[in-house]
Amino acid sequence: MRRDVATLVLASALYGFSIGCVHSTRFGLHNVLKFPLLFLITGAACAVAYFLWALLIGGARFRFVDVQRLAMRLYRDAAVLLAALAPANWFLARTIVPPDATSLHDYPLFLGVNICFIAVAGGLALFRQVHALAQYHPWPLSRRVITVGGWLALSLMVGGQAAWTLRPFFGVRSIPGAETRFFLGSSPDYRGSTNFYEAVYNVVAAAPLAADYTRHGRGWD
Amino acid sequence: MTNQPIELEANSRDEEAQPFSRQELRGMLGAPLRMVDLVLGERRRFAANVAQEHRLPTLLVVLTVATAAFALPFGAVLGPQGFWRIAALLLGSLAICIPSLHVFGRYLGIGLSWAQTLAVSLAAAAVTSLFTFALAPILGFFRVTMSASDVVTPQNMAVMLLICAFAAGIGQLFFVALGNRALARRIGPAAIPVIIPWLVLYVIITVRLAGVLHIGS
């Protein structure tokens, strides 16, 4: 378990550094701390729920520590896969045309590529744990999928808000790093959203932008 | 990235499930986390207790205590003064709805006694309560990290998490009532026609009672 956690921390720090470099080395170094924290906070908040969910769906007698180990391996695998992409990501981060006063240039492409990276790594880790569960317990495939899928849904629910609190991870380079808080917490973003769910809602039902929206999102308003 | 095998203790399907003894049930009152085994981990043994009507009074006491106790943290996170409200919601809505489940069940051919019906439904409430216990840290995290928002508030998230917990409890009701052969035989084919409409009533009453208790407002 300790080895899994150590691998998770190192791998996620490496990936975090690579995405932060799209803004600056300063943001990259912030992410060395923040990205592992994102995984650890999510895992800690969901720990008991993971356990009860596995019991509810599996009906088997699990030990708490076994479920944590399985869930941790899901995170670890995703983090290691992402870490493997870190060199490529770092190269992209340092070579895209940075945003300026006139346009975001390649920045949306970088975000899109990273969303794909995270989706692929998460999907592969999920698939691997569904397969791995079969070695540990003779459940039918449907129960394994529901168990691991439930863990993923819980992680997304909590991880989304954790990521919102710990942001910025990327950061548009036109925002001065020295003027941006380490954690933005519940500070409103450029649309005025103060939490992850509100931000999702604002993406789906986009409200008109305020005239001074470019001044928001640094954590001081 | 290797997956070392983890030895999980699985229930052997070949073994005859033994009901929980009085000592085991009383022991759970002293070690509340063992109640997790009673309602989730050892479902077949629990069903054996209910089907054989073995130590049902003790079982009912344990389930009631579990339901009340595990709901307290979620209530405390919602508001320290109203820490009892989730426990009251779970036990209150069940108390209001249990007569209808039993009487309609008997009328339509379900062969369960009062105590058996109560044990099955309390198991569902206990699972709901356990899930509120598991979701309490998540709600706490939301309360700490979400400031006042017009669209999504911590209260909204509390309601959403409560719905998840109730869904788990309802799932457990079906697992217990239909998943065990001995119990399913006693309940008979009327299970679905009774349980589904009863769940509709249960949800309506729970929502109303939540309003009365000012949960989510």
Of B2, B8, B128, which to mutate for an interface test with A (greatest number of A Cβ within 10 Å)?
B8
Distance CA A118, CA B187 (A): 48
- Name the residue facing A60 among B11, B130, B135 (closest C-beta): B11
DSSP state of B80: G
Position A65 scores a pLDDT of 85
Position B90 scores a pLDDT of 96
Position B11 scores a pLDDT of 45
Q: How far is A135 from chain B (nearest CA, A)?
A: 7
Reference B143, options B123, B119, B122, B161; nearest CA is: B161
Residue matched to tokens 């007569």 = B99
Position B126 scores a pLDDT of 94
Question: What is the three-state SS of B91-154?
Answer: HHHHHHHHHHHHHHHHHCCCCCCHHHHHHHHHHHHHHHHHHHHHHHHHHHHHHHHCCCCCCCCH
Answer whether B91's CB lies under 8 Å from B64's CB.
yes
Q: What is the pTM of this model?
A: 0.80
Q: Inter-chain contact B3–A132, Cβ cutoff 8 Å?
A: yes
Position B140 scores a pLDDT of 94
- Name the residue facing B6 among A66, A185, A193 (closest C-beta): A66
Residues of chain A with pLDDT under 70: 59-61, 101, 136, 173-174, 177, 206-221
Of A37, A38, A42, A52, which to mutate for an interface test with B (greatest number of B Cβ within 10 Å)?
A52
- Name the residue facing A59 among B8, B147, B175 (closest C-beta): B175
Position A219 scores a pLDDT of 60
Kindly give the residue spans of alpha helices, DSSP state H, lying in A85-193: 86-95, 107-136, 141-166
ipTM of the complex: 0.73
Of A1, A7, A48, which to mutate for an interface test with B (greatest number of B Cβ within 10 Å)?
A48
Position B14 scores a pLDDT of 43
Position B12 scores a pLDDT of 44
Residues of chain B with pLDDT under 50: 7-14
